[in-house]
Structure 1
Amino acid sequence: MASLRNTPAPAADPRDGYLDAARACILDVGWRRTTLTEVARRAGVSRMTIYRAWPDMPTLLGDLMTREWGEVVATRAAAADVVTAVVDTVRALRDNELFLRIVELDPELLLPYLLARRGRSQDAVLELVAARVAAGQADGTVRTGDPATIARGLLLACHGFVLSAQTMVDDQVSETDLDEELRHLLTVALAP
């Protein structure tokens, strides 16, 4: 039997470093001004290395958004209840620096995911929320209904709280007030 002590640790996926370089570029200059060549330069690799991983910037951006939003969601998915998990995730997405930079400089990047199709990260969120809804139904804390349909309804409602909350904040209503309103809406929507 081979010694575990001498077994090398699995190598980290080099693509993570490339995605980190892409993230840094987008934070600095925005998506439209970021090129695969610049990503390669920041990552310290050849352009061909990046082109072998991603044929174009939209494909790289899709992988970056999937990784970024997936991490945000995963760190909040274990909250005690589905309402807290969703509200915390909405707040974290709204405060995420990559998300904020995309909204600030390149908001059109988000339109396909709002108007034409779901992305991988949206599908992952739907899967997590549907599982949490089903678990809540099993323990009697969530109303009956198809968990997938309920999850999709919740995601649609949350889009506005992520993307448009800043348009509703002023001297009368804060983001915290809106988060509490979202908590109330979700609580009522899921009540058995």
Structure 2
Amino acid sequence: MMSISNDSPGEGSDAVQDRILDAAAACVLAYGIDRVTLAEIARRAGVSRPTVYRRWPDTRSILAALLTSRVVRVLDDPADREPGREALVGRIVAVAGKLQHDEIVMAVLHNAPELAMVYIAERLGTSQQILIDAVAGQIEQAQEHGSVRAGDPRRLAAMCLLITQSTVQSAQMVEPILSGGELDTELAHALNGYLKR
């Protein structure tokens, strides 16, 4: 039987946090969003419930952190960092494709609409702020390169987020019209048209 303990001696806080998030992902896939419990996350992670509570107050907070970790993982991909609008748009489209095929992200979007709607219609979440910051920095470089129009990089990045987020959210709905690579092509056209000088 697996022992449930507090943080293991010699194991860093980041490692424990990663185990908890991995356990949350496993619970989402095994039971669906609505049936994930903090107790089951703790059990699968091999930690006590107080260990989980020290990091997050409830299951919803854990799921939000899980989404953020999935986005950050996609952004950490050491993809081509070539400057310029077309390379930037290619990176945004690639990130959108990876998120669209991420089982956890899609499970939240399609099976937990009340959680998803907070970040779609009410406020920017941590993962969205991270995306805006990453894209804004790359937009600024592309502006210096001369391939992106003038404008506040964060404003342009926020609009790119809205365009891309809408595409990811609604991809399933328009699949009979825009499937696979066709959706990527049209998203690239939309972003290129928005950003070009």
Superposed pair shares fold, TM > 0.5: yes
How far residue 52 of structure 1 moved from its aligned partner, in angstroms, is 2.1
Say if 1:48 and 1:127 are closer, same or farther in 2 by CA, change over 3 A: same
What is aligned with 2:188?
183
Partner Cα distance (1:183, 1:96) in 2: 20
Partner Cα distance (2:102, 2:190) in 1: 23
Q: What TM-score does the superposition give when structure 2 sets the normalisation length? A: 0.86
How far residue 11 of structure 1 moved from its aligned partner, in angstroms, is 7.5
1:93-146 alpha-carbon deviations (Å, 9 max, x no partner): 111111122233223221000111000010000001111110000111111111
1:165·1:175 contact (CA, 8 Å) conserved in 2?
Answer: no
1:30·1:106 contact (CA, 8 Å) conserved in 2?
Answer: no
What is aligned with 2:152?
146
Q: Whose RCO is larger (CA < 8 A, sep 6+)?
A: 2
How far residue 78 of structure 1 moved from its aligned partner, in angstroms, is 4.4
Matches of residues 46-65 of structure 1 in structure 2 within 5 Å?
46-65=48-67
What is aligned with 2:115?
109
1:133·1:151 contact (CA, 8 Å) conserved in 2?
Answer: yes
Partner Cα distance (1:9, 1:44) in 2: 13
What is aligned with 2:162?
156
Q: What TM-score does the superposition give when structure 1 sets the normalisation length? A: 0.88
1:163-185 alpha-carbon deviations (Å, 9 max, x no partner): 00111111x53231111011111
Q: Percent identity?
A: 37
Say if 1:23 and 1:158 are closer, same or farther in 2 by CA, change over 3 A: same
Question: Any gaps of 5 or more consecutive residues in structure 2?
Answer: 1-9
Task: Choose 116-125 or 9-18, whichever is displaced more.
Answer: 9-18
Partner Cα distance (2:30, 2:104) in 1: 10
RMSD: 2.0
Task: Choose 139-148 or 67-76, whichever is displaced more.
Answer: 67-76
Matches of residues 158-177 of structure 1 in structure 2 within 5 Å?
158-170=164-176, 172-177=177-182
Task: Choose 35-44 or 100-109, whichever is displaced more.
Answer: 100-109
How far residue 55 of structure 1 moved from its aligned partner, in angstroms, is 1.7
Moved over 6 A (4+): 8-11
* Count of aligned pairs: 184
1:70-111 alpha-carbon deviations (Å, 9 max, x no partner): 111232664432101110011111111111222332232210
Matches of residues 1-192 of structure 1 in structure 2 within 5 Å?
13-75=15-77, 78-80=80-82, 81-170=87-176, 172-192=177-197
